[in-house]
Amino acid sequence: LIGAEGTIFGWKAQVALASLGYAIFGVGVEIAGITVSKVIVKWFKGKELALAMGLEMATARIGTMLAMAVTVPFAKYFQSVSAPIMLCIGTISYMVYIVMDRKLEASMSAEEEEKEEPFRMSDVFLIIKNKGFWLIALLCVLFYSAVFPFIKYATDLMVNKYHVEQELAGFIPSLLPLG
């Protein structure tokens, strides 16, 4: 498993651990998006649902923009601070959410729940026959296959190809999610 030269399964330990971290945290971001959508559906109904989902998407895009634009300047400015401040804030926010969610579930159990429509295979065929569904699916595939890989490597591209300073290199591609 762990070699004498600091390898794990034949890979340098640093590369193996970075790959594992990316697999857990980087790839899992889509699962987090699904979870957030499920939470939103639980908390909001009707017109408020569309607004809540729109605000969630806008917040996520602003978060992506800020992560790209301010990470290096922020890290350089706060290099003496060793505490993971953002992780602590996230943990506290999650705990507040748990308390609020339990209160919501208690109030929902007191109310009469609406009966869900049963699953019908004919609904799936209706979606597959819909031209708009295929256009949206194509748009999603193009977006995920073109924009996300660009965003992943854009900062490095700015530094190595266009010789932009590291502090500014993330700001340029951060304008894409802002747009």
Residue percentage of the chain with pLDDT more than 90: 30
State how far the Cα of 1 lies from the Cα of 138, in Å rounded to an integer.
42
At 37-58, the pLDDT tens digits run 889 998 898 889 999 999 998 9
Q: What are phi and psi of 4, to 5 degrees?
A: -70, -25
Which of 31-35, 53-57, 82-86, 140-144 shows the lowest per-residue confidence on average (mean pLDDT)?
82-86
As given in the structure block, the two tokens for residue 39 are 């939470």
At 106-144, the pLDDT tens digits run 888 766 566 778 889 999 999 999 999 999 999 988 887
Q: What are phi and psi of 7, to 5 degrees?
A: -115, 155
State how far the Cα of 81 lies from the Cα of 1, in Å rounded to an integer.
35
pTM for the structure as a whole? 0.65
pLDDT for residue 27 is more than 90: no
